Amino acid sequence: MSKVATSKQQEVQRIVEALSIAIAQHRLKPGTRLVEAQIVDVLDANRNHVQSALQRMALQHIVTIEPNRGAMVAQPEAREAREIFTARRAIESAIIACITPENMAAHLAELEAQQLAEVNATKLDDRREIVRELSQFHLLLGKVSGNQVLSEILANLMVRSSLIVALYQRNDIPSCQCDEHSAIVSSLKEGDLARAQAIMIAHLNELEQQLDLNDTSPDSLSLRQALTLSS
C-alpha cells in the first residue's frame, strides 16, 4: 500500500473509532442524524474521509445511510437485537474456549485492573463510566483469547449491543453485573473453561432478558403516527 493510501486508512479508522465510542457510550443515540459537515468540523477531518468512515460503518450495521437523507445512527429492530445476542453467546463462548493458562498469566494484571475499574465506576455511580467499563470487560476477554478474528467480530457486536441497550433497555440499571464478571475471571483462573462459558451464557441471557423485545414493530407505529399527523 502506498503511503497516501495508508494514511487515508488510518484517518478513516480514527473517524470510525471516534463515532463508535460515542455510540457505545450512548452520547450518540440511535436515530441521531450524522451531519457530515459537523463531523468534519468537530473531528477536524477531511470530508472524503468522513464519507468513507460512514460507509464503512454502514457495512458494519452501526450506521444507516438513506438516499437523499444522509447518514444516521442505526436503530436495530427487535429481531436483529435477538440475533445479536445469539451471536454474542456463540462468539463469547468461542473466545473463552481459546483462553489458555498462558493467556491468563500474560493478562492477569490487566484483568485485575479491569475488575478494580468496574468496582470503582459502580461506586462513583457515573452511568457513562459504568457502561464503558462493563463493556470493556467483554472486549478484554477477546484480547486475552489472542484470537484477532473473534475479537474483531465481538467489537462490532458490542457497538451494536450498545445501540440495542439504548433502544430497548427496560430501566436505567447498568446492563452488566461486576460480580458475574468476577465469577467468570475466577473460573478462568482455575482453568475451568466449561464453567466460565456457562456463567457467560447465563450472563448474556440475563442481559437479553433486561430488554423489552416484545414490542410492536416501531415501523408500523411511526407510519400510523405519520398518517394521523398528515390527515
* H-only helix segments in 98-217: 101-124, 127-145, 148-168, 178-189, 193-209
Choose between 20 and 135: whose C-beta lies nearer to Zn ion: 135
Residue whose C-beta lies closest to Zn ion: 176
* Side chain identity, residue 138: H
Choose between 42 and 202: whose C-beta lies nearer to Zn ion: 202
Number of residues engaging Zn ion in binding (CB under 5 A) = 1
CB of 61 to Zn ion, least distance (A): 21
Sheet holding 33-34, edge to edge: 33-34, 70-73, 63-66
Closest CA to 140 of 172, 122, 116: 116
Contact region with Zn ion (CB under 5 A), list: 89-97, 121-129, 166-174, 176-184:
176-184
DSSP, residue by residue, 44-88:
T--HHHHHHHHHHHHHTTSEEEETTTEEEE----HHHHHHHHHHH
Contact region with Zn ion (CB under 5 A), list: 17-25, 81-89, 107-115, 174-182:
174-182
CB of 27 to Zn ion, least distance (A): 20
Contact region with Zn ion (CB under 5 A), list: 64-72, 75-83, 171-179, 190-198:
171-179
CB of 7 to Zn ion, least distance (A): 36
Cα–Cα distances in Å, from 82 out to 59, 85, 131, 158?
19, 5, 20, 13
Choose between 91 and 176: whose C-beta lies nearer to Zn ion: 176
- C-alpha cell, 57: 460503518
CB of 200 to Zn ion, least distance (A): 8
Q: What's the maximum distance between 2 C-alpha atoms anywhere in the chain?
A: 67
Choose between 34 and 158: whose C-beta lies nearer to Zn ion: 158
- Interhelix angle for 127-145 vs 3-24, to 10°? 130
Q: Among 176, 183, 188, 199, which residue sits at the site for Zn ion (rule: CB under 5 A)?
A: 176
- C-alpha cell, 221: 407505529
Contact region with Zn ion (CB under 5 A), list: 9-17, 21-29, 69-77, 175-183:
175-183
Choose between 43 and 90: whose C-beta lies nearer to Zn ion: 90
Choose between 176 and 188: whose C-beta lies nearer to Zn ion: 176
Kindly list the residues in this chain that would bind Zn ion in the complex (CB under 5 A).
176
